Amino acid sequence: NVIETKEAAIQSIQVNELLDQSAGVRVRQSGGLGSHAHYNLNGMTGNSVKVFIDGVPIRNFGPSFSLNSIPPSLIKRIEVYKGVVPPHLSDDAMGGAINVVLK
């Protein structure tokens, strides 16, 4: 599943809102803007769902970094893998993965 961000780049929408509108993806935030978000792919959540930016795990950027820190105008596309994760991401994501591809 690929989410194109051409229209979102000119709107005031956040990345988590784009993901939440995609089929099979649910985003739960524990607070307002800047709070921690939990991603749910087809019922799998927690450590079984991994998030990447250009193939680099988001956990490498530190605990204060989130997908909402990236403006949609800098994102080329968002790839959502439900279940099987491709080998180039090569992580232990059993539930799936979200890969944000930057311009």
Which one, of 37, 52, 35, lies nearest residue 91 by Cα?
Answer: 52
Q: What is the pLDDT of residue 17?
A: 84
Mean pLDDT, range 21-28, rounded to an integer:
86
Q: How confident is the model at residue 47 (pLDDT cuts 50, 70, 90)?
A: confident
Mean pLDDT, range 68-79, rounded to an integer:
87
Q: Evaluate if residue 10 carries a pLDDT over 80.
A: no
Q: Evaluate if residue 29 carries a pLDDT over 70.
A: yes
Whether CATH 2.170.130.10 fits 2-102: yes
Mean pLDDT of the chain: 83
Q: From CA 52, how far away is CA 67, in angstroms rounded?
A: 9
Q: What is the pLDDT of residue 99?
A: 92
13 touches 72 (CB < 8 A)? yes
Mean pLDDT, range 28-57, rounded to an integer:
83
Q: Structure tokens of 31?
A: 């607070």
